[in-house]
């Protein structure tokens, strides 16, 4: 059940690489990665969840193993990334799924969810933001570049592409640095160092400002549709602050906030704990379960073995 398949599909003229695991008859979960990573960031969580869910984790154009056309051939904006992932969803004929979002996965995923709410069974938010109070001071050099892109502010933005900063994104705020594999930040740096990839990342940095005016749209979606929502952010993240994670309860009355003791890439250290919380939360909300069967759980929230899954 833990076998992962590595696949590629052409979407919008771009080869989109994705990881797939689990039984296709079980509830689907779409995992959208953040900067500067790829679907590789979900490798451990996919292993943890593949016995219970059908998991799909794509790499965006310009990231990981997906095609990385030049900015003259593909528009690197969050609107366009969301459009490509929306077309990816259609190409795979996904009709309902749990949407998991980290970092860039937020602005990509929240666009899709608010535009196509019928697709969403539940939201899982990990170090992704939809509230201004969640924006940390560590983003200030990026804000300066967005507001006034020039040679000087570009230097500050390029710092996010440096090996030291990429490693910092993985290690800052962790409970135990020795549990953070260097594989994640080393692989991310390999992809960032490819010829021309800096221009792709800078284009997305400049476009990041388009996300903030949409916060009200996303919050309106939350209030209207009340999607079952779990927030499992690393509480020590300096980019997207814990107060921003707690803010989801302002608009989603039953949102579950289960902050983990870690940083921006908290799954590197806490994927087992995260998986347990995810399973408990989704089972509690009946995602993928036949309503004709009684769902029971023990004191630890473990589901009874006779519960049967229905097709997602």
What percent of the chain is helix, strand and coil (3-state, nearest 5)?
45, 15, 40
Query: Whole-angstrom Cα distance, residue 101 to residue 78?
Result: 14
Instruction: Return the half-sphere exposure (C-beta side, CA atoms, 13 A cut-off) of residue 121.
Output: 23
Contacts of 147 (CB under 8 A, 6+ apart): 153, 209
Question: Of the candidates 43, 40, 38, 86, which has an alpha carbon nearest to the alpha carbon of residue 62?
Answer: 38
Q: Are strands 54-58 and 97-102 parallel, antiparallel or unpaired?
A: unpaired
Distance CA 242, CA 253 (A): 18
SS3 103: coil
* Residues known to be catalytic: 264
| Three-class secondary structure of residue 270 per DSSP | helix
Q: How far apart are CA 312 and CA 306, in angstroms?
A: 18
| DSSP H helices in the chain | 43-49, 78-91, 105-115, 140-147, 151-158, 163-171, 182-192, 197-207, 215-225, 242-246, 267-284
**Quick one: tokens of 7?**
């696949």
The order of strands in the sheet holding 229-231 is 4-11, 14-21, 54-58, 28-32, 97-102, 120-126, 229-231, 256-257
Cβ(220)–Cβ(214) under 8 Å? no
User: How far apart are alpha carbons 299 and 7 in whole angstroms?
Assistant: 40
């Amino acid at each position: 059940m833990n076998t992962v398949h590595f696949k590629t599909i052409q979407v919008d003229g771009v080869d989109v690489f994705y990881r797939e695991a689990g039984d296709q008859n079980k509830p689907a979960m779409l995992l959208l990665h953040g900067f500067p990573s790829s679907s590789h960031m979900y490798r451990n969580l996919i292993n943890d969840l593949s016995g219970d869910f059908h998991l799909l984790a794509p790499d965006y154009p310009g990231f990981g193993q997906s095609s990385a056309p030049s900015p003259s051939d593909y528009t690197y904006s969050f609107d366009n990334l969301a459009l490509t992932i929306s077309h990816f969803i259609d190409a795979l004929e996904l009709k309902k799924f749990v949407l998991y979002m980290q970092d860039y996965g937020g602005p990509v995923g929240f666009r899709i969810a608010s535009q196509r709410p019928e697709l969403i069974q539940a939201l899982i938010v990990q170090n992704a933001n939809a509230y201004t109070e969640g924006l940390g001071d560590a983003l200030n050099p990026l804000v300066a570049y967005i507001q006034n892109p020039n040679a000087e502010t570009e230097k500050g933005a390029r710092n996010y592409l440096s090996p030291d900063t990429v490693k910092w994104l993985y290690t800052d705020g962790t409970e135990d640095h020795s549990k953070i594999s260097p594989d994640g930040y080393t692989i991310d740096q390999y992809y960032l160092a490819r010829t021309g990839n800096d221009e792709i990342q800078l284009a997305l940095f400049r476009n990041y400002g388009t996300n903030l005016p949409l916060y009200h749209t996303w919050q309106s979606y939350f209030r209207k549709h009340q999607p079952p929502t779990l927030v499992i952010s690393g509480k020590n993240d300096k980019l997207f602050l814990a107060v921003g994670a707690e803010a989801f309860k302002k608009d989603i009355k039953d949102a579950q906030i289960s902050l983990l003791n870690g940083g921006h890439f908290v799954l590197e250290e806490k994927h087992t704990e995260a998986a347990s919380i995810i399973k408990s939360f989704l089972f509690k909300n009946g995602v993928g379960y036949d309503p004709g069967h009684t769902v029971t759980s023990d004191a630890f929230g473990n589901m009874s073995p006779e519960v049967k899954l229905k097709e997602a």
